[in-house]
């Protein structure tokens, strides 16, 4: 063993051994408990960043720990490889998205291998590989057959100059990111997955995920957004039409004084009178350029335009002007809102701005609101007023009565509404999975027959990013014979949302070599569900919700028998430097390659795991990196120094140990207990590492190391350090384990076991308080009685000085911890 720790030599050696031996390859083994560990797979953007280092190091600790504890661990890796960034890079670099993507995959794979991550690389997949996405096309066809995939018109971001659809991220302040032209909302036919079919189950099953952070569950529940209320019809004056609203506040119906429609509402222009049309159309165009998230923000200025039409309040017969309002969204409720300005703040601000009438219908108990004097809406429970037969009732009790009344009169009904909307999967982009559909003038929408799958994404395209998808201009792809009638037809040129690929990849990892279908049910039944999923909080809603939906849909299609994909979820924090998240624009990025080249992967891993608990943000510290490197050198020297004494050491004979040896062994087993609990139960890797550091200090302080009778205890202590550090810093511990004379890698060794008897304290430190304040400490035998502890405490000089001239009223003893003396 070299005296000097040289990370590059050690890490290169063991990475080669692991790769040649396929050390982390795994197969199903019914005799073992399985453990499926997964970090969210990366987009192949070109290089890993420190967020990747932290995320994958967290997962690797868990995987190595569980493997040493006897679990059959599945720990795969792959690439979320389709999508917009590849297209953007191709445009900027005048290259092909495929070339850019596969070059990045190759480079990032080499980076991950340099980190020493325990992946089963035989299961690697990339979602842009036809062997992956062809199965997705098959699942699409089966979902289409079951009514879970369908087509309808929907609004998209459209750049008229580039003649293409833009993702929300490509719209910057209402303009195209590429050409700076104003972006419009354009109505196009789009494919959707009917996720709303599972809304109730998705919501109810959030109560079956105790291993998920409550914050994420709340976000999903809010996104699904189940509301109990009423649908109410408002007849349009002069037309045989009705505007239907959904409201949870039917108790305020008598106070509705105007109607607000989303500018995208299908009746918006139909209800617009000729004299109002120009102003209404201009308003709609303006709103179409505004981000939807901004439109619903509390601080967003409420604006609207009168359509010229009126509807009738079904319970008051009030003539209500119909406005278009920028804060009303088509994809929530019905896209129409009965406006009650006295009892809704947004309506209040809107009414004040446009001088619309206010009618109070809920009064605070013991007060009378004057609409003219109100400065904000009253939104609390109160007493019904100006509400016909419901006057005098509590407003929360009146909700049910009014709902019954509406149903009886035939103008409304009780209903349940979900905020969740069906998932639009159409993307008017090239670099994605082709949607397997053909359009025939005679036959209409024709699914591609399964025997003709896959629809392969062609590589021979001229990709510029302008003029729409290049697939529509490639005759060999676009023009096709109809599978039903044989006439010339057109292939769908939209591709699938990349969230589709990430919604089932965890299932394909179970059987990446399966050729008879997307999922080998038997192998999936062994591995699923994922025991531990790790990723960023930014995926709390969309990815995680879509993955849950896909799992349920595939269950109903007969592919799997699980209802939820991920049993436990860890959302790790960000890496912060100079007070901000690392980013190129802020100039605070740390290059993992440079870090690894200088200090080694083990140092990079150790710092990222020691600096903060996984769920918290990590503040970058160059001094912390240096400290981690020094600690590994210290462990290296510790083993080097111990080798001459432990080579022939036998098993510890606890009966013949010296006090010093017994004390060291106590620290060893206390540390084993703490580190095991911190990793297994809490993922508190930082405190686990700190405990091992304390054990290293104890070993350095242990004397005499060269005494033959101490050799076995020293060996146990040193080997325990190596074993407990191995999930965190696998390369250096492999080298040290080998130096200690062990055959086979440390990953094949068992996790050290905790001996409760060895960890028992022979002496305890008892804190002594006088009137609740610390006044001294006494060391007592572990089996000391309360009387013996009191005797030692009252005899302590420091304690006695606080008792002089005072009367002891009582002494309260907490066994083994604290004695509080109360004096008067």
HEC letters along 693-708 = HHHHHHHHHCCCCCCH
- What CA–CA distances, in Å, run from 625 to 534, 575, 603, 631, 726? 24, 14, 7, 10, 18
| Structural contact between residues 67 and 416, judged by C-beta atoms closer than 8 angstroms | no
What mean pLDDT is predicted for residues 661-689?
Answer: 95
Mean pLDDT score, 392-414: 96
Closest CA to 156 of 176, 189, 181, 186: 186
CB distance 429 to 469 below 8 Å: yes
| H-assigned helices in 557-650 | 592-599, 601-610, 622-646
Give residue 632's pLDDT band: very low, low, confident or very high (50, 70, 90). Answer: very high
Helix (H) or strand (E) holding 254: none
Gyration radius (Cα) of the chain, Å? 34
Are the beta carbons of 658 and 710 closer than 8 angstroms?
yes
Between strands 149-159 and 304-312, the pairing is unpaired
Q: Which residues on neighbouring strands pair with residue 561, listed in sequence order?
A: none
Q: Once rounded to an integer, what is the mean pLDDT over residues 321-342?
A: 94
Region of poorest pLDDT, from 105-109, 279-283, 315-319, 658-662 = 658-662
CA 198 from centre of chain? 20
DSSP per-residue codes, 132-170: HHHHHHHHHHHHHHTTSEEEEEEEEEEETTTTEEE-GGG
d(CA 397, CA 656): 78
Q: Is the pLDDT of residue 93 over 90?
A: no
* Strand partners for 596: none
Separation of alpha carbons 510 and 26, rounded Å: 10
- pLDDT above 90 for 295: no
pLDDT of residue 744: 86
Lowest mean pLDDT among 71-80, 481-490, 577-586, 740-749: 577-586
- pTM of the entire structure? 0.89
The CA dihedral of 541, 543, 549, 552, to the nearest 10 degrees, is: -120
- 638 Rama class: left (phi>0) / alpha (psi -120 to 50) / beta: alpha
Q: What does the pLDDT read at residue 522?
A: 97
In this structure, are strands 569-572 and 532-536 parallel, antiparallel, or unpaired? parallel
Instruction: Name the β-bridge partners of 767.
Output: 777, 818
Mean pLDDT across the chain: 94
Give CA separation, 292 vs 5, 173, 295, 304, 328, in Å.
56, 12, 5, 15, 9
Strands 437-440 and 488-491 come out as antiparallel
Residue 71 has pLDDT above 80, yes or no: yes
Residue from 104, 93, 121 nearest 47 by CA: 104
Q: Which is more confidently placed, 656 or 224? A: 224
Return the residue matching tokens 């068992």. 750
Q: What region does 45 belong to: left with phi over 0, alpha with psi -120 to 50, or beta?
A: alpha
What's the confidence (pLDDT) of residue 10? 98
Contact assessment for residue 548 and residue 565, using Cβ atoms and an 8 Å cutoff:
yes
Residues making up the chain, counted from first to last: 824
Q: What is the dihedral of CA 455, 458, 463, 469, to 10 degrees?
A: -20
For 336, 512, 546, 798, the CA distances from 127, given in Å and listed in that order, are 40, 12, 16, 71
| Beta-sheet pairing, 336-339 with 319-325 | unpaired
In sequence order, which residues have a C-beta less than 8 Å from that of residue 680 and are 6 or more positions away?
65, 69
Q: Which residues contact 750 (CB under 8 A, 6 or more apart)?
A: 68, 69, 70
Cα–Cα distance measured from residue 284 to residue 297, given in angstroms and rounded to the nearest whole number: 19
Cα–Cα dist 473/401, whole Å: 60
pLDDT of residue 170: 67
Task: Determine the Cα–Cα distance for residues 182 and 256; give it in Å rounded to an integer.
Answer: 36
pLDDT computed for residue 579 by the predictor:
87
Q: CA 517, CA 511: separation in Å to the nearest integer?
A: 10
Say yes or no to pLDDT of 235 above 90.
yes
Q: Which residues touch 655 (CB under 8 Å, ≥6 apart)?
A: none
Tell me what the mean pLDDT of segment 212-219 comes to: 96
Q: pLDDT of 529-551, one tens digit each?
A: 999 999 998 888 889 999 999 99
pLDDT at 244: 97
The backbone torsions φ and ψ at residue 267, rounded to the nearest 5 degrees and listed phi first, read -95, 0
For residues 471 and 477, give the distance between their C-alpha atoms in angstroms, rounded to a whole number.
7
Which region among 225-229, 342-346, 650-654, 741-745 has the lowest average model confidence (pLDDT)? 650-654
Q: Whose structure tokens read 């959030």?
A: 206
DSSP state, 814?
Answer: E
Cβ-proximal residues to 388 (8 Å cutoff; 6+ apart), any chain: 254, 315
Q: What is the band of 607 on the pLDDT scale with cuts at 50, 70, 90?
A: very high
CA–CA gap between residue 222 and residue 16 (Å, rounded) = 48
Which token pair is 49? Answer: 């960043």
State the pairing for strand pair 575-577/618-619.
parallel
Q: What pLDDT digit, counting tens, does each position of 143-187 carry? A: 999 999 999 988 888 888 877 777 665 677 778 877 788 887 788
| pLDDT score of 294 | 77
Decide if pLDDT at 777 tops 90: yes
φ/ψ (deg, to 5) at 112: -65, -35
Q: Comparing C-alpha atoms, which of 526, 432, 427 is closest to residue 156?
A: 427
375 pLDDT exceeds 90?
yes
User: Residue 735: its pLDDT value, please?
Assistant: 97
Contact 472/493 with Cβ under 8 angstroms? yes
- What pLDDT sits at residue 168? 66
């Amino acid at each position: 063993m070299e005296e000097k720790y040289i990370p590059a030599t050690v890490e290169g050696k063991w990475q080669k051994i692991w790769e040649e031996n396929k050390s982390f390859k795994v197969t199903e083994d019914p005799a073992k408990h399985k453990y499926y560990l997964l970090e969210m797979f990366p987009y192949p953007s070109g290089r890993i960043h420190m967020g990747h280092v932290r995320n994958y190091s967290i997962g690797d600790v868990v995987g190595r720990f569980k493997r040493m504890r006897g679990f059959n661990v599945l720990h795969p890796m792959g690439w979320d490889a389709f999508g917009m960034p590849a297209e953007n890079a191709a445009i900027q670099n005048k290259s092909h998205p495929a070339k850019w993507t596969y070059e990045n995959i190759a480079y990032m794979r080499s980076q991950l291998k340099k980190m020493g991550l325990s992946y089963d690389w035989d299961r690697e997949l990339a979602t842009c590989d036809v062997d992956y996405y062809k199965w997705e096309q098959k699942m699409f066809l089966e979902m289409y057959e079951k009514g879970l995939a369908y087509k309808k018109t929907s609004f998209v971001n459209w750049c008229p100059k580039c003649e293409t659809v833009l993702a929300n991220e490509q719209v910057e302040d209402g303009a195209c990111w590429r050409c700076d032209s104003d972006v419009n909302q354009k109505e196009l036919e789009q494919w959707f997955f009917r996720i709303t079919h599972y809304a109730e189950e998705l919501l109810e099953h959030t109560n079956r995920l105790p291993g998920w952070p409550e914050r994420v569950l709340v976000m999903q529940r809010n996104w699904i957004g189940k509301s109990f209320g009423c649908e109410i019809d408002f007849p349009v004056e002069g037309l045989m039409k009705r505007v239907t609203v959904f409201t949870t506040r039917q108790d305020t119906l008598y106070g509705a004084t105007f109607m607000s429609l989303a500018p995208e509402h299908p009746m918006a222009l139909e209800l617009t009178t000729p004299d109002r049309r120009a102003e209404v159309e201009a308003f709609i165009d303006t709103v179409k350029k505004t981000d939807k998230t901004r439109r619903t923000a509390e601080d967003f200025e409420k604006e609207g335009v009168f359509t010229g039409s009126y509807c009738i309040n079904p319970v008051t017969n009030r003539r209500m002007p119909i406005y278009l309002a920028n804060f009303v969204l088509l994809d929530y409720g019905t896209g129409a809102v009965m406006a009650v300005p006295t009892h809704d703040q947004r309506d209040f601000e809107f009414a004040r701005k446009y001088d619309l009438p206010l009618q109070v219908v809920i009064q605070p108990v013991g007060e009378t609101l004057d609409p003219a004097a109100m400065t904000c809406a009253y939104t609390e429970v109160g007493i019904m007023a100006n509400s016909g037969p419901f006057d005098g009732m509590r407003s929360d009790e009146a909700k049910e009565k009014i709902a019954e009344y509406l149903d009886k009169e035939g103008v409304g009904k009780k209903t349940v509404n979900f905020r969740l909307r069906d998932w639009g999967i159409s993307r008017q982009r090239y670099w994605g999975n082709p949607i397997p559909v053909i359009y025939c003038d005679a036959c209409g929408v024709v699914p591609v027959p399964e025997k003709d799958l896959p629809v392969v994404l062609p590589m021979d395209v001229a990709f510029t990013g302008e003029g729409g998808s290049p697939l529509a201009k490639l005759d060999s792809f676009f023009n096709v014979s109809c599978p039903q009638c044989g006439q010339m037809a057109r292939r769908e040129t939209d591709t699938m949302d990349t969230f589709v690929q990430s919604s089932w990849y965890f299932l394909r990892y179970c059987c990446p070599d399966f050729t008879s279908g997307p999922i080998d049910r038997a192998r999936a039944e062994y591995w699923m569900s994922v025991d531990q999923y790790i990723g960023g909080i930014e995926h709390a809603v969309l990815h995680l919700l879509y993955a849950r939906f896909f799992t349920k849909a595939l269950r109903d299609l007969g592919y799997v028998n699980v209802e939820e994909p991920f049993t436990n979820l860890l959302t790790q924090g960000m890496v912060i430097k100079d007070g901000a998240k690392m980013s190129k624009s802020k100039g605070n990025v740390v290059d993992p390659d440079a870090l690894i080249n200088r200090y080694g992967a083990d140092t990079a891993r150790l710092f990222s795991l020691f600096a903060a608990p996984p769920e918290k943000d990590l503040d970058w510290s160059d001094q912390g990196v240096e400290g981690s490197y020094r600690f590994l050198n210290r462990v290296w020297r510790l083993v080097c120094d111990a080798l001459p004494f432990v080579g022939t050491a036998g098993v510890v004979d606890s009966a013949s140990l010296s006090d010093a040896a017994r004390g060291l062994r106590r620290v060893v087993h206390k540390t084993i207990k703490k580190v095991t609990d911190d990793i297994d139960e809490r993922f508190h890797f930082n405190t686990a590492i700190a405990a091992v550091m304390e054990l290293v200090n104890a070993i350095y302080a242990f004397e005499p190391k060269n005494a033959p009778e101490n050799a076995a205890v020293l060996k146990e202590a040193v080997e325990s350090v190596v074993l407990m550090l191995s999930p965190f810093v696998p390369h250096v511990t492999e080298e040290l384990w080998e130096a200690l004379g062990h055959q086979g890698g440390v990953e094949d060794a068992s996790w050290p076991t905790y001996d409760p008897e060895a960890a028992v304290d022979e002496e305890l430190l008892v804190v002594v308080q006088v009137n609740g304040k610390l006044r001294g400490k006494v060391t007592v035998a572990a089996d000391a009685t309360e009387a013996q502890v009191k005797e030692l405490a009252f005899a302590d000089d420091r304690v006695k000085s606080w008792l002089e001239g005072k009367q002891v009223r009582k002494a309260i003893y907490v066994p083994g911890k604290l004695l509080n003396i109360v004096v008067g």
